Amino acid sequence: MAKATRQSFGEALARLGAEHSEIVVLDADLSKSTKSDLFAKKFPERFFEMGIQEAHMIGAASGMAFSGKLPFLCSFGAFLTGRYDQVRLSAVYSGANVRIIGTHAGLGIGDDGHSQMGLEDVTLMRVLPTMGVFQPMDDAETQAIMDYLVKQYKGPAYLRLTRQTMPDYSDKAAPFVAGKLRKVATLGTGAKTLLAIGSGAGVAEAMGAAERLTAKGYTTHVVNCHTLKPFDSKGLMELVSSLKPSQIFTVEDHSVIGGLGSCVAEVLSENGVGVKLTRFGCQDQFGESGEPVELFEKHGFSAAKIAEKMA
């Protein structure tokens, strides 16, 4: 069912908390927004309300990880990157087995504006050695990533989640495999082939663009990147050689500098792929208040804007 991925996260956490007594959850006065409150209600003794202290929360979660717990620390992505040195040293450099949950990704949060929008978090988290970076596109994928992060993944990981509702694509998409690009759909039967790669809220915009492009003679293969790090370089190269797209585009509700667009650009250029790449997302601009739909339009990564540019 279409849900905000933060909601799916909260539900997954409450579900997994029952079987995994090592899970502890920390929140800095945003549990109703991050949806960690769903865990808090079920397991109050394992929920730590830290107050408005993100820096301390990151350190405390790391210490709990060193003492055998599996901490999920939750806040808005923007506030976590704001305490970057704590993420960098206390958590990641220390090898802490922590799950850092950054909700309120991108322009999609709308009205609250720039200060609350995580627009640089993928870039900053991705640059840290050993850090895993994940971003689900919908409810089912959030559940799958949460299972993976609890049952299999070891080390520090960052999970980026939306405030707004995400349409469901998982049921029709290829099965979820952690670390692998995931085919969502192929739209159109035209002779001109495009490869669209979206992440998070970008998947829905890529799908919308692909739909619009069918009328213009395009076949668009839409792929979802839920694991931004480690990035599936091999999978991307396989897609490029099997689909032979005339153009590639990426869509993300995030800065194109260092985000998904950069991940793809790095792989394409390092492998000598001479296919034109267009990166849709925030183009080196700050976020702002407004309706998400209007903001996506204004910043050029709504389905309509993408289709217009790619056609």
Range in contact with another protein (rule: CB under 8 A) among 32-40, 88-96, 180-188, 285-293: 88-96
Beta strands in 15-69 (DSSP E): 23-27, 47-49
- Cα 286 to Cα 282: distance, rounded to the nearest angstrom: 8
- To the query of whether residue 49 is one of the catalytic residues in this protein, the response is no
Neighbour tally for 66: CB within 10 Å: 14
Is 13 one of the binding residues for another protein (CB under 8 A)?
Answer: no
Q: Are 35 and 6 a contacting pair, CB within 8 Å? A: yes
Q: How far is the CB of 124 from another protein (least distance, A)?
A: 16
Q: Sheet containing 192-198: which strands, arranged edge to edge?
A: 182-187, 218-224, 192-198, 247-255, 276-282
162 near another protein (CB under 8 A): no
Q: Which stretch binds another protein (CB under 8 A): 57-65, 109-117, 145-153, 256-264?
A: 57-65
Distance, CA of 163 to CA of 277 (rounded, Å): 29
Interface pick for another protein out of 23, 25, 60, 223 (rule CB under 8 A): 60
- Amino acid present at 201: A
Nearer to another protein, 16 or 64 (CB): 64
Q: Using CB under 8 A, pick the residue from 56, 114, 180, 305 that binds another protein.
A: 56
CB 258 within 8 A of CB 122: yes
Indicate the residue among 86 and 170 with the shorter CB distance to another protein: 86
Residue 2 DSSP symbol? -
Least distance from C-beta 133 to another protein, angstroms?
Answer: 19
Which of 53, 56, 41 shows the shortest CA–CA distance to 91?
A: 56
Rounded Cα distance, 121 and 287, in Å: 13
Is 179 a binding residue for another protein by CB under 8 A? The answer is no
Query: In the bound complex, what is the minimum distance in angstroms from residue 49's beta carbon to another protein?
Result: 9
For residues 247 and 226, what is the distance between their CA atoms, to the nearest angstrom?
A: 21
Q: Which residue has the tokens 């908390």?
A: 17
Does the footprint of another protein cover residue 85 (CB under 8 A)?
A: yes
Choose the catalytic residue: 11, 54, 141, 205: 54
Q: Smallest distance from the beta carbon of 56 to another protein, in angstroms?
A: 4
- The CA distance from 103 to 5, in Å, is 9
Q: Which stretch binds another protein (CB under 8 A): 9-17, 91-99, 104-112, 187-195?
A: 91-99
Does position 42 interact with another protein (CB under 8 A)? The reply is no
Positive/negative CA dihedral, 169, 301, 127, 68: negative
Nearer to another protein (CB atom), residue 51 or residue 217? 51
The binder of another protein chosen from 58, 145, 166, 295 (CB under 8 A): 58
- List the structure tokens of 227: 């694991």
The three-class DSSP label of residue 310 is helix
Handedness of CA 171, 173, 174, 177 (dihedral sign): negative
Work out which of 62, 123, 135, 219 binds another protein, going by CB under 8 A.
62
93-112 binders of another protein (CB under 8 A): 93-95
The window from 89-97, 133-141, 230-238, 296-304 that contacts another protein (CB under 8 A) reads 89-97
Q: Which residues bind another protein (CB under 8 A)?
A: 24, 45-46, 48, 50-51, 53, 55-69, 71, 85-86, 89-90, 93-95
The set of catalytic residues is 54
